[in-house]
Amino acid sequence: MAPITPARFIALFVAALSLAAGGCLMNADYSIMVTTADGVTLEVPLSKNFEPGPSATDDAASVKNFRFMPVNRGDTKTMGYAFIVKFEKGYVPASIVVEDVSEEPIKLLFTDTSPKLVHDDIWEAATPGFNPNDEKANWIMGLDNGVRTFRFTITMADKSVHILRLPVFVPSNAKAIFRSELGIK
């Protein structure tokens, strides 16, 4: 190895500094493509933060939040889903159906045939808890990273139908936390 001369040291230092500065400025954007059980291909952002993505929004409504949540009723521990959809001014939902379209069979999670809006534009709902052995929640038993895709079929008061698809990246460590919350080793 060649000796490090002052000139070589300065060159290495500047190179290291350039790489470090460049690394701080770069935001890695990673995503994967998935195909749902109903044949739609979606791009899924891989991020620590919840990012609904473009398929979860249209001119009438947007999925603003989605959560996997433990539901404890007495000695029974289950997992449910909670969601928030925001409606644009002038759009009034007559029914909302939420399904898991990650794979066959498509699983019905929630139906609201008379949705009530909070603050004139927000719909909030939560499913009952599902046992981890139920097909609506058994995906948490998998040990690898995964993507769950949820389809929101919204029929408006004017009879127009809007379909929003929300892909959610679920890292393996999140599944481990869900299993722990449910008392599964």
From the options 3.30.300, 2.60.40, 1.10.10, 3.30.160, give the CATH code of 31-181: 2.60.40
Which of 77 and 156 is assigned the larger pLDDT? 156
User: Can you point out the beta strands (E) in the chain?
Assistant: 31-35, 41-45, 61-73, 76-87, 93-100, 107-112, 122-126, 146-156, 161-170
CB-hemisphere CA count at 13 Å for 165? 18
Indicate yes or no: pTM above 0.75. Answer: yes
pLDDT value of position 2: 55
- Per residue in 20-65, pLDDT (tens digit) is 544 444 455 788 899 999 999 998 877 766 667 777 889 999 999 8
pLDDT value of position 28: 53
Tokens of 63: 């999925």
Q: Which residues pair with 77 in a beta bridge?
A: 72
Q: To the nearest whole number, what is the mean pLDDT of the chain?
A: 85
- Mean pLDDT is lowest, of 53-57, 81-85, 146-150, 153-157, for 53-57
Mean pLDDT computed over 67-92: 90
* Percent residues over pLDDT 70 in the chain: 81
Q: Is the pLDDT of residue 124 over 70?
A: yes
Domain positions in the chain are: 31-181
Contacts of 112 (CB under 8 A, 6+ apart): 95, 96, 97, 123, 125
